[in-house]
Amino acid sequence: MKLGKFILKRILQTIPLLVIVSIISFFIIRLSPVDPLAELRLNPSISQETLAKEKARLGLDKPIIVQYGLWAKSFVKGDLGITSNGEKVSVKLIERIPNTLILTLIVIFMTWSVGVPLGILGAIYNKTKLDRILTILSSVGMAIPSFFFAILLLIFAVKTGWFPVGGLTSYDFNDMNFLGKFFDIAHHLVLPVTVLFTLSLAGLQRQMRANMLDVLDSDYIKFARAKGLSENKIIFKHALRNAINPMITLLGFEFAGLLSGAALTEYVFQYPGLGRLILEAVMKSDINLVMASLMIGSIMLVLGNLLADILLLITDPRVRG
Amino acid sequence: MKLLDIKNLNLSFKMENGVFPALYDVSLSLNKGEIHALVGESGCGKTMTAMSIIKLLPKNAIITSGEIIYNDTDILKSSDKELRNIRGSKIALIPQDPMTSLNPLYTIGNQLLEIIEKDKSLTKEEMREKCIEVLELVKLPDPKNKLDIYPHELSGGMKQRVIIAMALASKAEIIIADEPTTALDVTIQAQIMKLLNEIKKEFNTSILLITHDLGLVGEYADEISVMYSGRIVENARKDEFFNNTLHPYSKALMGALPANTNDKILKTIDGQPPNLQEEIIGCRFSPRCEDCDITVCQELPCLKEKTPNHFVSCHKV
């Protein structure tokens, strides 16, 4: 009951936040000297009728405040307009979001299941050889630019032929059975996941190591030792839970960060994800798509934080307080 | 009867620029059912001495020589497993800061149980009753409902009571109280000290009381050791110590008590206690000592029995 009330409160709190984000995004985009319909006009396959409809929807002949009102009204209704290719923005997004979610969730799952144990090891064996090796590896991981690493892997894929060079599915995807489809997607995911995994693993591992070191030095761990508890109990019962709490907040940011942070990697691998869609939309000044993507990004950030807050509520009694 | 005997303990710290001695020939004994107060300024080695007893020292601390005899065995030579059986069961610690010494993520009951469940013969129900029983002993109000609450819901004094309850739950023979009241306000201080004194009387527990509050010492201690810069400089029974203070450092400490100053200006000891890495020729207290005589104090004094059971390390006494 208390939890439900908290979640409801948090969701209500995000509404003004989203309104402010949308206002700022809207005005920044409209301040740029770009004709929102330029691309559409140049596209011969778009009929005059569609163009007129879109013009009316955006209210381009009215003052900018009214334009914002019109945009907000249709956004709430779920009408996000059309892209420069004449496709519906909402259809395009719905097509891309699952792809990015698959990528993001796999990467988050992998970085957490590898980074957290490595961080713990680094802290327990602080200043030993193992810790030094882990630190060097994570420095290397942090230092490699994602696009460069992606290109290296692409060259690798081309030279060996072990991995597909881009996209999410093979050309004969539709003819495959379920298992075949599954393996085809997995095969395509290996390289982009490797890039994003390497990139975010290093940071996560370092953060976890630092948290764990802090906690291991705390008074309650010293006291737990003085109580004569076993080392296992000290590390896994007392230290781990305390060290992981700050990471949960991080998870919220990471969720949103990977959506847009994956843009370069998605671009290099021609992965049909949200990040690449946004990047291409910006380059084509596809206003409707950019605006919708910005809103999706903000909603994801808000959702990620909400998720992290709820998790914290479960794990930390002080937040419940 | 000596329950615990520290003999000539020497401890050094390994640092980047060398090895520096922190404890020098510290000898200290704890009698059954008595409070032995270890007094000294911050950084003089009180806590290091106490932590040596349960062998919980920083990684860079090395015990170079000495023995700590408890139950006819040398704790310093015990294995990790033997140490775990001593820690929290035979020798309990009351840490300096109760506010940060309990894990914020687990309930009071959970953390108390960690000690009680070491006794494998108890059923779940008995364990719970035992928890309530020890919380009653430390006079925590409404102990039944306290089991399921978290540390942040308790005040500092209550947390210290919970920690003392842990020492009672283990039926520890020795309690090391490392400045148990420093983090608490004055009224709570008195209550906690009274509680410790009652425990001593009721369970015949020995307490090593680490403090820099001579007022507390005068009220509760049976025996007193004064430490300065890693050395014990004076050791005596309480009455002897207060009636016949011999070491210039102890005298200066007594002189600095507000109750003992007649002027409106509080007396202090000039200078700072020496740094671990500082080299001082002869007596470590000589640079701050009012009675220092350069001709004799250039040699390091050792602890000598000046009057029966009253040990002092000073050339001038």
What residues of chain B, 142 to 201, have a C-beta less than 8 Å from chain A? 150, 152-153, 163, 166
User: What pLDDT score was predicted for residue B41?
Assistant: 86
Least confident among A63-77, A158-172, B134-148: A158-172
Rounded average pLDDT over A9-38: 84
Q: Enter the pTM of the model.
A: 0.81
Would residue B29 be called left, alpha or beta, if left means φ above 0 and alpha means ψ between -120 and 50 degrees? beta
Q: Is A122 helix (H, G, I), strand (E, B) or coil?
A: helix
Q: Between A218, A219, A229, which is nearest B114 by CB?
A: A229
- The answer to whether residue B281 sits within a structural domain is yes
Instruction: Report the side by side order of strands in the sheet with B35-39.
Output: B91-94, B174-178, B206-211, B35-39, B223-228, B231-237, B310-312, B304-307
**Inter-chain contact B101–A220, Cβ cutoff 8 Å?**
yes
Nearest Cα to Cα of residue B6 among B174, B163, B172: B174
B144 φ, ψ to 5°? -60, -45
B307: left (phi over 0), alpha (psi -120 to 50) or beta: beta
**Full domain range(s) for residue B194:** 2-90+170-312
User: What average pLDDT does range A90-119 have in this prediction?
Assistant: 88
Calculate mean pLDDT across residues B206-229: 90
A83 pLDDT higher than 80? no
Q: Mean pLDDT, to the nearest integer, of A97-123?
A: 89
Please tell me which of the candidates A220, A226, A321 has its beta carbon nearest to residue B103.
A220
pLDDT for res B177: 92
Residue A214 pLDDT > 90? yes
The answer as to whether B250 is a domain residue is yes
What is the pLDDT averaged over residues A173-195? 81
Residue B281: give its domain's CATH number: 3.40.50.300
CA A308 to chain centroid, in Å, comes to: 14
pLDDT for the residue numbered A259: 67
CATH topology of domain A97-283: MetI-like fold (1.10.3720)
pLDDT number for residue A1? 56
Task: Indicate the residue of B85, B88, B100 with minimum beta-carbon distance to A218.
Answer: B100
> For the segment B10-39, what is each residue's pLDDT rounded down to a tens digit?
999 998 888 888 898 999 999 999 999 999
Give residue limits of the domains in chain A. 2-77, 97-283
Residue B70 located in a structural domain: yes
pLDDT the model gives residue A220:
92
pLDDT of residue B93: 92
Asked whether residue A125 carries a pLDDT value surpassing 60, the answer given is: yes
Q: How far apart (Å, rounded) are the C-alpha atoms in residues B266 and B258?
A: 6
pLDDT tens, position by position, A283-304: 887 888 888 888 888 888 888 8
* ipTM metric: 0.88
In angstroms, the Cα distances linking A94 to A86, A105, A255, A297 are 16, 17, 18, 14
| pLDDT for the residue A261 | 64
Segment of A145-149, B120-124, B249-253 carrying the highest mean pLDDT: B249-253
pLDDT, tens digit (0-9, with 9 covering 90-100), for B260-307: 777 777 788 888 888 877 777 788 888 888 777 777 777 788 888 888
Between chains, do B87 and A233 touch, taking CB under 8 Å as contact?
no
Q: What is the dihedral of CA B158, B164, B166, B171, to 10 degrees?
A: -150
Find the mean pLDDT for residues B221-242.
91
Residue A218 with chain B: CB contacts under 8 Å: 100
Q: In what order do the strands lie in the sheet with B2-15?
A: B18-31, B2-15, B61-70, B73-74
Query: Does B87 sit within 8 Å of A226, measured CB to CB?
Result: yes
In the A/B pair of chains, how many CB contacts fall below 8 A? 70
| pLDDT tens profile A57-79 | 877 778 888 888 888 888 888 88
Tens digits of residue pLDDT in B71-82: 888 988 888 888
Q: Structural domain tally of chain B?
A: 1
Q: Is the pLDDT at A321 greater than 70, yes or no? A: no
Nearest to B291 by CA among B250, B256, B235, B262: B250
The alpha carbon of residue A18 and the mean position of all alpha carbons in its chain are separated, in whole angstroms, by: 18
Residues of chain B in contact with residue A242, where contact means CB-CB under 8 angstroms, are 103-105
As a whole number of angstroms, the distance between CA B64 and CA B81 comes to 22
CB–CB of A134/A227 below 8 Å?
no
Q: Assess contact for B227 and B39: CB atoms under 8 A.
A: yes
- Work out the pLDDT band at B224, boundaries 50, 70, 90: very high
Average pLDDT over chain B, rounded to an integer: 87
Q: What angle do CA A115, A118, A120 make, to 5 degrees?
A: 110
Q: Does B101 touch chain A (CB under 8 A)?
A: yes
Q: Average pLDDT, stretch A136-160?
A: 85
Distance CA A244, CA A15 (A): 29
